[in-house]
Amino acid sequence: MPLHGTTDKGIYIYGGFDGSETQLEQRDWKANVTTVDGNDTVRGFNIQASVGIDGFTITNGNAGNGGGIYVNDVFTVFIANCVFDSNSVTDGGGGIYNSKAHLTIENSSFFDNIATKSGGGIFNNRSSLSITNSLFYDNSASKGGGIYNYSSSPTIMNCTFARNSGGIYNAYYSSPNITNSIVWGNSSYQINAGGTVTYSDIEGGHDGEGNIEADPLFEKGQPPGKPDFHLKAGSPAIDTGTAESAPDSDLDGNPRPNGQGYDMGAYETQSVSQLQFSQANYSVGEDDQTITLTVTRKGSSDGAVSVKYATSDDDATAGSDYQAKTGTLSWDDGEVVEKTITIKITDDSEIENNESFITSLGETTGEAVLGSPDTAVVTIIDDDGGDFIDGCLYLDGSPVKKATVLLKQKGEKKQKTKTDAAGCYKFDKAASGKTFKIIINGPKVP
């Protein structure tokens, strides 16, 4: 849907629909591309009011300033889920020219934008600018292929700048705050001067807490030659960002973090193994004598990983109802076979209620995290027969909830349960033909 125009009212416009949606959340802006096309003759948007723009590809804009978007006043502008592609100007701001506005950009990409003078991706003049989860590559300008800041101090979080004619250019006391970002492989310079940079991967190095200087190991694009700035397994930018103020998802919409920590750059790596039980609940008869639990490796199979496990009591007791067990499960590099945990069950002759214990996954090694479920509840089904005894407790006409009820029968193991929300209890395994005693313990018992 090619279009271009001027926004002269405080509105919020969305792209990315195929016409079948009834709710905004149903749209897929990546699959249903809504194009603002300047046809190399006009800019995409001339913003003249506070506005939100979400889900557009803005391309082939052409102007003196601001080929994709031009804003030149004290407005509040929000841009999300947009692509700025192949816009050009003879002066500044191939993708966006921003002067004086409070501009927020999230989850957007800037590539192949050109400014003859300054700011191939963005020209930012005396403005409040915040950019999160965004990608700048193959943009060019005489100064600031990615971004040119003039008397501005933008906040840049989890962004990637690569293959631009220059990364970020700061002029006239500009001092951006850059966190969890990658600035690598830009020609001429990465960051020319100034700014506070932390927990970022900067080619050539940069002073600041948590910064590194190491090849981020971008993926090789498919087909060959296509740009891809996701991180390979083993990238030094994986898990080395900071959680402070970090977004909860990445440019692809995948959740952050996905691993032991937050990644640097616009993309959170998905090359992490998830170790988890195949199901959350198991049951076993006493006479089966063993129960086998299955643990799976999902996600990436890269690298060797392991996870510890241990059992713990619920109302079943280790030693008398089952045998406690701890251990470690391990996978080699590339291995995805399911692993098992076998636990011994005690087959006794006592009549008792069904009882449960818990097996939990714990500490992982390698590029692995716990998936879901990471605990498994095992219910032991008693096979010794018997009758049931039930009843309900009331106080002043109201049910007594969560009261402890004990069943005693001579020569039998004591049984215990609690009343439910209706004040009722039930023992399924009472010994047949024997007298019994019910003992009730609770804060409110008639």
* Average pLDDT for the chain: 90
Q: Does one domain contain both 286 and 423?
A: no
Position 433 scores a pLDDT of 65
Residue 136 CA to residue 154 CA, distance in Å, equals 15
Residue finishing a domain among 202, 226, 243: 202
Q: How many domains does the chain have?
A: 3
Instruction: HSE, CB side, 13 Å, CA atoms: give it for residue 425.
Output: 23
Q: Does one domain contain both 29 and 99?
A: yes
pLDDT tens digits, one per residue of 299-337:
778 889 999 999 999 989 999 999 999 999 999 998 999
CATH number of the domain within which 286 lies: 2.60.40.2030
Q: At residue 432, does pLDDT exceed 70?
A: no
pLDDT tens digits, one per residue of 50-88:
999 999 999 999 999 999 999 999 899 999 999 999 999
**Class of residue 242 by CB neighbours under 10 A (exposed 0-12, middle 13-18, buried 19+):** middle
Average pLDDT of the segment spanning 174-195: 96
| Omega cis (within 30) before 446 | no
Q: Does one domain contain both 16 and 91?
A: yes
What is the span of the domain harbouring residue 63?
Answer: 11-202
Asked if residues 289 and 347 have their Cβ atoms less than 8 Å apart, the reply is: yes
Q: Does one domain contain both 93 and 175?
A: yes
Answer whether residue 212 is part of any domain: no
Answer whether residue 325 is part of any domain: yes
Average pLDDT of the segment spanning 385-395: 77
Q: Does one domain contain both 428 and 348?
A: no
Answer whether residue 264 is part of any domain: no
Asked if residues 127 and 99 have their Cβ atoms less than 8 Å apart, the reply is: yes
Q: Largest alpha-carbon pair distance within the chain? A: 98
Q: Does one domain contain both 298 and 430?
A: no
Answer whether residue 266 is part of any domain: no
Position 332 scores a pLDDT of 95
Answer whether residue 300 is part of any domain: yes
pLDDT tens digits, one per residue of 110-128:
999 999 999 999 999 999 9
